[in-house]
Structure 1
Amino acid sequence: MTSTVLVDVRDNVQIMTLSNPEARNAATLEMSEAMAAALDELDANPALQVGIVTGAGGTFCAGMDLKGFLAGRLPTLPGRGFCGLVQKPPQKPLIAAVEGYALAGGFEMVLACDLVVAARNARFGLPEVKRGLVAAAGGLPRLPKRLPYYIAMEYILTGDMLDAERAHGHGMVNRLAEPGQALDAALELAQRVAANGPMALIASKRVVQESADWPQSEMFELQRAITNPVFASQDAREGAAAFAEKRKPVWKGI
């Protein structure tokens, strides 16, 4: 059986390609299980620094596979949510490389990533309300944090599609690429991220994600619990030594 998530490693970057092209990469239960396994490998393998999620055949993901839904096979996993990603993103940085459509759960997967690269002709959308449904895979709480409130509400309540150019203008997309070049542009960005200290990347992402719920009076104390091990690490000494010696650092993740 052909895998529904194709995994490719380039240096210290893991590329995970959603592969159900006959259904615009709509997510199946099998795809969710494969994505969860790939994300676990990303976090567990010390040789990997960054992950990229993209789609095969010129489309990111059109949402849930309706045939599977009608058969009672939802593309969600306990504790991990839609496509094994939206409730439990990896500890390491994750980049979405978007071509074509990222709709419904597909858009919610994008919103669970840390960085977004999109082809200029890409389209994002939460069309659930058009079908009497609700975007319940993270889109409703996350989109107003990625776009200005009223802009986010417009797309949530109309179910209309948001084009990549406007998304970039509002800061939801980091980089625009020509059609067919989103993955290459995402790899370039991933390599810039992956050049940095692995412990520092994980700690930085964790602080950003968790600090939204921190009381201001406890902010620095809670941050120290995450960042102090980084400052005490061998990598911190290596980073300083490499800077002084005008060379590239050799990270060990310890």
Structure 2
Amino acid sequence: MTDSILVDCAGPIATVTINRPERSNAMDSIAHLALSEALDRLAADDGIRLIVLTGAGKQAFSAGRDLKELAISDAAEQSAIADRWRRVTRLTDRFYYPKPIIAKVRGFALGGGFELALACDLIICSDDATFALPEPKRGLIPFAGGVHRLPRQIPRKIAMGHLLTGRAMDANRAYALGLVNEVVAEDRLDEAVAGWARDMLACAPLAIRAIRQCVAAGIDRPLRDAMTDHYPAEAIRAASQDSIEGPRAFAEKRPPVWTGR
């Protein structure tokens, strides 16, 4: 892993930080590959139940792709860049990631940075946060999920207004549209994220995984099909010890003790 991505594990929570504050946390191919590898490792780590994704400093969550890398003309470096991209599995490309991810957003979340946040389960942001997909202003399109996720997460006409103009929305507008779970003052952001994490960790891990899989696999399908389909994570939960522990703990008026089995 390079210093462009930092991972700090504290008990069941892993904080993944995009660490390029001098570039407003814009991500080049090295950072994208490092993020991909970090997420793969955390997915395989049974001790980690929740991931918080954030950006270093207070200026930006991420300004998206580092466009300076696109301007590199050296053939050898272009070949190395292309090789790194071939090895990347971006969060925005993953149909189903096995663990919940909270985006903790300060400042700007632009382009690919906004797309990263859209791919997370929750977005908690400070009141100075700004979200935008300015790609068409650069002759590009937000193809790492933005053109598809934004119209699924807010009304289509509003999404098209932002997609076709590159216009930004502030934190309160994003909250009003349902893109953001909570907006707080900057000095309360860590506290707010910790609260959401605490509530999530109080739930059974297998139930969380099953819920996420059901939502990801069923959200764009007809309701009848989605409700009658087979979901492997739900089959595992239904046969687990935790599915017995939850009702038993409720009946015995005590906190449940989850084992993840």
Which residue in the other structure is 1:106 paired with? 113
Deviation at 1:220, TM superposition (A): 3.0
Change in Cα spacing, 1:3 to 1:213, as seen in structure 2 (3 Å) is same
The 10-residue stretch of structure 1 (214-223 or 173-182) with the greater mean CA deviation from structure 2: 214-223
Deviation at 1:225, TM superposition (A): 4.7
Say if 1:46 and 1:253, in contact at 8 Å, map to a contact too.
no
Segments of 5+ residues of structure 2 without an aligned counterpart are: 73-77
Segments of 5+ residues of structure 1 without an aligned counterpart are: none
The 10-residue stretch of structure 1 (61-70 or 213-222) with the greater mean CA deviation from structure 2: 213-222
Q: Deviation digits for residues 84-125 of structure 1, max 9, x if unmatched?
A: 311026211111000000000000000110100011110000
Say if 1:33 and 1:77, in contact at 8 Å, map to a contact too.
no
Which residue in the other structure is 1:93 paired with? 100
State the alpha-carbon separation in 1 of the partners of residues 119 and 251 from structure 2.
37
Counterpart secondary structure, 1:214: coil
Q: Deviation digits for residues 159-198 of structure 1, max 9, x if unmatched?
A: 0111011000111100111124433322221121122111
Which residue in the other structure is 2:175 paired with? 168
Which residue in the other structure is 1:35 paired with? 35
Say if 1:40 and 1:90, in contact at 8 Å, map to a contact too.
no
Deviation at 1:10, TM superposition (A): 2.3
Number of aligned pairs? 251
Matched, 1:250 2:257: yes
Which residue in the other structure is 1:121 paired with? 128
Q: 2:190 aligns with which of 175, 183, 191?
A: 183
Change in Cα spacing, 1:12 to 1:223, as seen in structure 2 (3 Å) is same
Which residue in the other structure is 1:57 paired with? 57
Counterpart secondary structure, 1:96: strand
Identical positions, percent: 39
State the alpha-carbon separation in 2 of the partners of residues 229 and 135 from structure 1.
36
Which residue in the other structure is 1:154 paired with? 161
Name the TM-score, length of structure 1 as normaliser: 0.91
State the alpha-carbon separation in 1 of the partners of residues 22 and 88 from structure 2.
28
Which residue in the other structure is 2:75 paired with? none
Instruction: Give the 5 Å matches for 1:13-32.
Output: 13-32=13-32
The 10-residue stretch of structure 1 (242-251 or 113-122) with the greater mean CA deviation from structure 2: 242-251
Which residue in the other structure is 1:132 paired with? 139
State the alpha-carbon separation in 2 of the partners of residues 101 and 146 from structure 1.
19
State the alpha-carbon separation in 2 of the partners of residues 251 and 42 from structure 1.
20
Say if 2:12 and 2:48, in contact at 8 Å, map to a contact too.
yes
Change in Cα spacing, 1:166 to 1:55, as seen in structure 2 (3 Å) is same
What amino acid sits opposite 2:31 in the alignment? M
Say if 1:60 and 1:98, in contact at 8 Å, map to a contact too.
yes
Say if 1:94 and 1:115, in contact at 8 Å, map to a contact too.
yes
Instruction: Give the 5 Å matches for 1:65-76.
Output: 65-71=66-72, 72=78, 73=81, 76=85
Name the TM-score, length of structure 2 as normaliser: 0.89
Change in Cα spacing, 1:225 to 1:90, as seen in structure 2 (3 Å) is closer
Change in Cα spacing, 1:62 to 1:224, as seen in structure 2 (3 Å) is closer
Say if 1:54 and 1:183, in contact at 8 Å, map to a contact too.
no
Deviation at 1:41, TM superposition (A): 2.4
Q: Deviation digits for residues 7-63 of structure 1, max 9, x if unmatched?
A: 112221111010001100011222112211221222211221111100001110001
State the alpha-carbon separation in 2 of the partners of residues 93 and 222 from structure 1.
22
